[in-house]
Amino acid sequence: MARILVTETIADGGLDQLRAAGHTVDVQEGLSPEQLCEAIVGAHALIIRSATDVTAEVLAAGTDLIVVGRAGIGLDNVDTAAATERGVMVVNAPQSNILSAAEQTMALLLAVARNVPQAHAALVSGRWERSKWTGVELSDKTLGVVGLGRIGKLVAQRAMAFGMRLIAFDPFVSAEMGRKMNIELVDFDTLLAQSDFITLHVAKTPETIGLFNAETLAKTKPGVRIINVARGGIIVESDLADAIRSGHVGGAALDVFDKEPTTESPLFELPQVVVTPHLGASTHEAQDKAGDTIAEMVGLALAGEFVPFAVNVNAAEASEVVRPFLGLVERLGALFAGLSGAADRLEVSYEGEIAGYDTRILTLSLLKGFFGRISDDPVSFVNAPKLAEEHGITVAETTSTTSHAYINLVTVRGAGHSIAGTLVGLNGEPRLVMVDDHRVDVPPAGHMLVVRNDDRPGMIGRVGTIVGDSGVNIADMDVGTAASGASAMMVLATTEEVPESVCDTLRAVEGIVSVDTL
């Protein structure tokens, strides 16, 4: 089983899941960059939170790495591009702390509106300053939400209960969707000009770094209060401090900072500012969810299975219709590699109901199975496209919602060969239904034998006898029929690999044209 290096505190429940699966969990917290490069050697997985920087150097040292798991949402401390280049999957737990982050936003929204921390600090220091810390009501004020993703939506829902008017800026959300949530979608400058409070819920990207600077802050409504529980660096802290000192910005509440951890900022000296040390995900519930989720994602990655929260897999999350086909298509890829050998082009077609969905993850699964059969290197959803590029293999994908013989059908062609499969019955059992344009009906097994022969009596018996006499058990068998109706192929599923010596014996039989193990 795998060795999993854990460099930050993760909830025990998640780590226990990995131990129960047979993996070795190596917890080493507080590593320096140099120590991390040493500790990563021989590790198959790395689990972190926000304090560990997974640089290109770390990834280069982790030559056995399959997956990096971030127990949380943000990935600005992971060089995802370098991980993808090396075929290392990067996964996170995007839904683990959304509720905690939304509640932290509401806590800071109320705190900055009513000056709760300032009044508390004065009172416990012996000063009754009731008139000094007069606040404002939230009711009838306009809240501008920058980023209407999962957290932004939760904040908007909660702010609505306080009687706030809601506007939002998010170029990826339609006005119609906003109307359904009772939120008015506006452009960025309109949001700045109309908002009494602004809350940020966007990722830290080249486009959002420094989004709130001297220029944009000057466009805000006088007296605006700004809340950031997203990521540090989106606000230029020195520019925000200047805007507060000038009186244009009425106050701010920040949970995140440009550099973390930090105990110094120009904002800390201002009485209108409320700050917390990145507590957005710091609830027992969020930590438990993050630990459980990242353990599940890492376990799936190590098993070579589909990982829903992989961030560097070039495919949409598999729908409920598509997901059952992942195993079948991966097996088709492996079988096709055994059937065709070298190929410079793979053509995969999806017919029927699945053609109406995003099938990119299925094509990745096909490549994963194909290269898993021919490559000595570990193959994942991440590095499969890169392996195809390195091998000079182009992949063409076609879809058609019409399938004449089956509800759904997946067909692979290339190098003069073809193979097709589907799922049948209420339980969705996989079936191999075509090999080299011969109709068959046999479950795809771990070991398969394809025998092409002249259409003459006695061939089935001779093949079965030779395989059986060798001590190999035949689990299933079907005779392939060509479009002309001639029976000239046998497809056998065996419980173990058929030895090459047995294949040579079969090839020597008169009437047998070829023998291939898949």
Query: CA-CA-CA-CA torsion for 24, 25, 28, 29, nearest 10 degrees?
Result: 170
Q: What is the DSSP string of 177-229?
A: HHHHTT-EE--HHHHHHH-SEEEE-----TTTTT-BSHHHHHTSPTTEEEEE-
Please name the residues in contact with 379: beta carbons below 8 A apart, sequence gap of 6 or more.
304, 367, 368, 371, 372, 387
Give 296's Cβ-side CA count (13 Å radius).
Answer: 13
Whether 192 and 216 have beta carbons less than 8 Å apart is answered as: yes
Could you tell me how far CA 145 lies from the centroid of its own chain?
A: 26
Give the number of other Cβ atoms within 10 Å of residue 376's Cβ: 5
Whether 211 and 219 have beta carbons less than 8 Å apart is answered as: no
Long-range contacts, 157-160 (Cβ 8 Å, 24+): 157/181, 158/102, 158/103, 158/106, 159/106, 159/109
Please name the residues in contact with 349: beta carbons below 8 A apart, sequence gap of 6 or more.
397, 398, 399, 400, 409, 410, 411, 413
Q: Rounded to an integer, what distance in angstroms lies between the CA atom of residue 312 and that of residue 84?
A: 6
> 3-state class of 162 per DSSP?
coil
Please tell me the total number of residues recorded for the chain in this structure: 518
Q: Rounded to an integer, what distance in angstroms lies between the CA atom of residue 299 and that of residue 75?
A: 19
Please name the residues in contact with 382: beta carbons below 8 A apart, sequence gap of 6 or more.
83, 84, 87, 88, 89, 310, 312, 313
Whether 88 and 379 have beta carbons less than 8 Å apart is answered as: no
| b/e burial code for range 339-368 (CB count within 10 A of at least 16 → b) | bbeebeebebbbbbebbebebebbbbbbbb
Q: Rounded to an integer, what distance in angstroms lies between the CA atom of residue 47 and that of residue 52?
A: 9
Alpha helices in 127-174 (DSSP H): 150-160
- Active site amino acids: 231, 260, 278
Q: Rounded to an integer, what distance in angstroms lies between the CA atom of residue 60 and that of residue 56?
A: 6
Whether 2 and 23 have beta carbons less than 8 Å apart is answered as: yes
**End-to-end C-alpha distance for the chain, whole angstroms:** 26
Could you tell me how far CA 119 lies from the centroid of its own chain?
A: 44
